[in-house]
Amino acid sequence: MFANSSFLNYSIPFISTTVSQIITGIVVFVVGLIVASIVKSVFVSRLRHGKLPELAVEFLKKFLGALLLVIVIVLTLGAFGISVGSVVMGLSAVLGLVLGFGMQDTIANIGAGIWVVMLRAIDKNEYVNINGTSGTIKDIGLMATELVTPDNQYITMPNSLIWGNPIVNFSRMPLRRADVSVGVAYGTDMGVAVKIAMDIMKNHELVLDDPAPAVFTTELADSSVNIALRPWTKSENYWTVVGQIRNQILAVFEEKGVEIPFPQLDVSIKKD
């Protein structure tokens, strides 16, 4: 018994930590990780029963996980006999050095990520344009946001760029207006051209009756009179409607003899 007691109280050279403190520290670390995992699971479960979007839940899950890990590490160091106060002071010094060496962007990205998630500027699987880059949101991390472009490129964008620039969200609103432009030759019966365009939109199964589709003359260009077809559809059907109406307007104009002209340039040559 005394031998065991002596062994537990044995102080390891150079670190001044006893065997019993090491065992206690290991137990605290393991139990702390288990408790942190349970707390995180309960927290996430309650969040998912609320009205928060999935992206916000994932972000808060990562944030809470990092915070709980720091707490477990601090408690473990305390169990090892290391002064927690000195550790906190050391971390503060490291943070000061980090900021001093121009790492303010790290803090800015974390803060921007929190604001983006809390204010729900974007959400998972939404199609957006940020700072000239278009893609589908896949995840928001503590430092960066992940997007996938329509041609399947994977982009990682710092959170500070998202919060510091206008965000165009193509998916947030349930309805979108499609804009399809086409030019007809001068001399075309515009009543016929407009009627054809309206019939195409009204007969398309994905085009909504309310708001009603419309056709406008947008420009008297050099070689054509340009008109715009403006049907409304559900956001998820936007590109399908645009593509199909373009194909139909080309086919029906050709069938009805409505000319879509090529650019033309008249050149006059004067002889001396």
pLDDT, tens only, 181-218: 999 999 899 999 999 999 999 999 999 999 999 999 99
Domain boundary residue among 114, 149, 169?
169
* Same domain for 89 and 47: yes
CA distances in angstroms from 239 to 2, 123, 147, 153, 253, listed in the order given: 80, 20, 19, 19, 21
Domain boundary residue among 50, 70, 102?
102
Residue-averaged pLDDT of the chain: 82
- Tell whether 154 is covered by a domain: yes
Q: What is the CA radius of gyration of the chain?
A: 32
Beta strand extents in the chain (DSSP E only)? 11-12, 17-18, 127-130, 133-140, 144-148, 154-158, 167-169, 175-177, 180-184, 214-220, 225-230, 232-234
pLDDT of residue 202: 94
Per-residue model confidence as pLDDT tens digits over 17-76: 676 777 887 888 888 888 888 888 887 777 676 666 666 677 777 778 888 888 888 888
The single-letter code of the amino acid at 176 is R
Per-residue model confidence as pLDDT tens digits over 120-144: 888 888 999 988 899 999 988 778 8
pTM value? 0.60
Which residues fall within 8 angstroms of residue 73, CB to CB, at 6 or more apart?
29
CATH of the domain at 91: 1.10.287
227 pLDDT higher than 70: yes
Domain with 246, as residue range(s), is: 175-256
pLDDT of residue 265: 66
- CB burial of 184-202 (b: ≥16 within 10 Å; e: otherwise) equals beeebeeeebbebbbebbe
- Tell whether 238 is covered by a domain: yes
- Tell whether 158 is covered by a domain: yes
Domain boundary residue among 134, 154, 169?
169
pLDDT of residue 27: 86
* Same domain for 72 and 47: yes
* Same domain for 180 and 157: no
* Same domain for 213 and 135: no
Q: What are phi and psi of 217, to 5 degrees?
A: -85, 120
- Tell whether 160 is covered by a domain: yes
* Same domain for 56 and 23: yes
- Tell whether 114 is covered by a domain: no
Average pLDDT over residues 156-181: 90
- Tell whether 213 is covered by a domain: yes
10 pLDDT higher than 60: no
pLDDT of residue 239: 92
- Comparing C-alpha atoms, which of 57, 23, 25 is closest to residue 41? 57
The sign of the torsion formed by the CA atoms of 163, 169, 171, 172 equals positive
* Same domain for 97 and 8: yes
Q: Contacts from 86-90 at CB under 8 Å and sequence distance 24+?
A: none
* Same domain for 240 and 209: yes
- Confirm if 82 and 25 have CB atoms less than 8 A apart: no
Q: Is 50 or 174 the better-scoring residue by pLDDT? A: 174
pLDDT of residue 67: 81
Q: Please state the separation of Cα 249 from the chain's center in Å.
A: 35
pLDDT of residue 15: 57
H-state helical runs in 49-132: 54-79, 84-100, 104-118
* Same domain for 139 and 72: no
CATH of the domain at 185: 3.30.70.100
Average pLDDT over residues 221-237: 93
- Tell whether 142 is covered by a domain: yes
Per-residue model confidence as pLDDT tens digits over 90-117: 666 655 655 555 556 667 777 788 788 7
- Tell whether 64 is covered by a domain: yes
Tally of structural domains, the chain: 3
Rounded to whole angstroms, how far apart are CA atoms 201 and 129? 27
Rounded to whole angstroms, how far apart are CA atoms 157 and 51? 26
- Confirm if 128 and 168 have CB atoms less than 8 A apart: yes
Any bridge partners for residue 180, and if so which?
229
* Same domain for 71 and 14: yes
Any bridge partners for residue 158, and if so which?
144
* Same domain for 196 and 146: no
Classify residue 160 by its DSSP letter: H
